[in-house]
Structure 1
Amino acid sequence: MPTPSNQALYYATDHCFLGPMLAVWTENGLSSLKPFDSQSELKAHLVQQLSGERITPVDSARRKDLQRVLAAIENPGTPMPTLTLDLQGTSFQQEVWQAIREIPPGQTRTYTELARQLNKPKATRAVANACGANTIAVLIPCHRVVRSDGTPGGYRWGLARKKALLERETCPVSP
């Protein structure tokens, strides 16, 4: 997660059906939300990836924000809270992420459809790469972006998680 080395980071951990979750905020907003396969993997990530950063546990307001996000993940009928995000990416990536945030739960778009929507019909691969660069699971719902043939395609946090999220949102997924 690219941040200036002098910038304070705040973190919280919790758990949902996706596994142990780590949320990291900068002063500007949520910059990372990611699931892990185990609590030990999450702790190792904190030590290895963030040990050189100024990182401290979050305040109660941010912890409540994480709990509201996880409640919405667990219960797809619950609206996802609107949080301030600190998105680190190119202008094209941010454009893709904004378009993805507009895909309603229960619906999918193909990488090709998103490229066309952005008036860049030849940028299908770049759209897929932007999905892969997303650091904020579920709030930027890259799991709703699928291949042209309807199959799930890739997912930064694992294909099983992508399929599980789509199933919870009642999207039909090809094998």
Structure 2
Amino acid sequence: MNDAALSAEHYAQMAAAIRYLRAQQAQQPSLAEVAAQVGLSEFHFQRLFSRWVGVSPKRFLQFLTKERAKASLKASQSLLEASFSAGLSGPGRLHDLLVTCEAMSPGEIKAQGAGLTIGFGAACSPFGAVLLAWTARGLCHLAFFDDDGALAQAELQRLWPQAQMCAEQGAAQAYAMRIFAPAGHRQPLNLLLRGSNFQLQVWQALLATQPGQVLGYAQLASLAGKPKAARAVGSALAANTLGFLIPCHRVIRETGEVGQFRWGSERKELMQGWEAAHTICDKRSAE
């Protein structure tokens, strides 16, 4: 089994574990119970989960509770105010990875990729298999998939029908290693965004948030400078084709529910828990 297939299998097992943990939150299931649900020994499950997430399943469960989500939403209000006062309503830091964004012009978007050469390839990530695509100006696509990747690749082709596509697996894996590298080993990354002015405002506002932070749709609308456009924010999130890098997984419902996600609610929760756990670990390492 190759790395991408193994990664997809492991992600499926982690997603199943998260579904079980979510359903059994009140009972606080033991390690043995969760391991049995995904068909692994306790030892193997503990190792796999800790490698994937960075903390134990029991600790991870604490990051997924609704009450914690509600508390995080309240805490986010002061963080958002701090972001405004610091002038961080535009592109900012993501995982200590300095992200530089460049927007395509309306003419370039209308051309549907004509004259562009786009490199692409599948790679492994902490959240399963991922399809990456890039131009000379930066990454333009990051989509997760759970099958053989054919549908993900078809979507990429649909978004850029006039572009010349060039498969480069080695480069894709190199990009993945940069994106998901441990703290202290991350390198600057350029993103090429295609969207309306409103969508760009929403995505740039998301880049001003911090790893481990969650916020509601109304909070994001305010951060984007459109406080009355909370409903339209959802459409902008759905149009995001740079998963994880444009961190729409940080947006939850005001009730504390995780809400919908283009690449699956289990993956969204895994990202939230992974960020929260790694943020704590990074702080401890810095002390």
**TM tier relative to shorter chain:** 0.7 to 0.9
Higher relative contact order (CA 8 A, sep 6+): 2
Listed one character per residue, the Cα deviations across residues 83-140 of structure 1 (whole Å, up to 9, x for unaligned) are: 1111000011111101101111111111100112233221001111111111011111
The aligned amino acid for 1:135 is: T
1:14 equivalent in alignment to 2:14: no
| 3-state SS of paired residue (1:162) | helix
Structure 2 portions without partners, runs of 5+? 1-108, 278-287
Determine the structure 2 residue equivalent to 1:71: 181
How far apart are the structure 2 equivalents of 1:58 and 1:49? 15
The aligned amino acid for 2:225 is: N
Structure 1 portions without partners, runs of 5+? none
User: Cα 1:35–1:59, aligned 2, differ >3 Å: closer, same or farther?
Assistant: closer
Which structure shows the bigger proportion of residues in helix conformation? 2
1:43 equivalent in alignment to 2:150: yes
Tell me which moved more, 88-97 or 10-19.
Answer: 10-19
The aligned amino acid for 2:253 is: R
How far apart are the structure 2 equivalents of 1:80 and 1:132? 27
User: Cα 1:85–1:120, aligned 2, differ >3 Å: closer, same or farther?
Assistant: same
How far apart are the structure 2 equivalents of 1:48 and 1:128? 20
The answer as to whether partners of 2:123 and 2:173 remain within 8 angstroms in 1 is no
The aligned amino acid for 2:115 is: N
How far apart are the structure 2 equivalents of 1:17 and 1:66? 10
Determine the structure 1 residue equivalent to 2:229: 123
How far apart are the structure 2 equivalents of 1:107 and 1:79? 22
Report the TM-score when normalising by structure 1.
0.81
Aligned mate of 2:204, from 94, 98, 102: 98
How far apart are the structure 2 equivalents of 1:49 and 1:20? 15
How far apart are the structure 2 equivalents of 1:119 and 1:132? 19
Listed one character per residue, the Cα deviations across residues 13-39 of structure 1 (whole Å, up to 9, x for unaligned) are: 21123221110012321110011012x
User: Cα 1:48–1:95, aligned 2, differ >3 Å: closer, same or farther?
Assistant: closer
| 3-state SS of paired residue (1:119) | coil
| 3-state SS of paired residue (1:94) | helix
User: Cα 1:36–1:145, aligned 2, differ >3 Å: closer, same or farther?
Assistant: same
How far apart are the structure 2 equivalents of 1:117 and 1:145? 12
Report the TM-score when normalising by structure 2.
0.52
Identity %: 34
In the TM superposition, residue 44 of structure 1 has moved relative to its aligned partner by 4.5
The answer as to whether partners of 1:80 and 1:139 remain within 8 angstroms in 2 is no
The answer as to whether partners of 2:123 and 2:169 remain within 8 angstroms in 1 is no
Tell me which moved more, 96-105 or 50-59.
Answer: 50-59
Determine the structure 1 residue equivalent to 2:218: 112
The aligned amino acid for 2:226 is: K
What is the root-mean-square deviation in Å for CA atoms of aligned residues?
2.5
| 3-state SS of paired residue (2:225) | coil
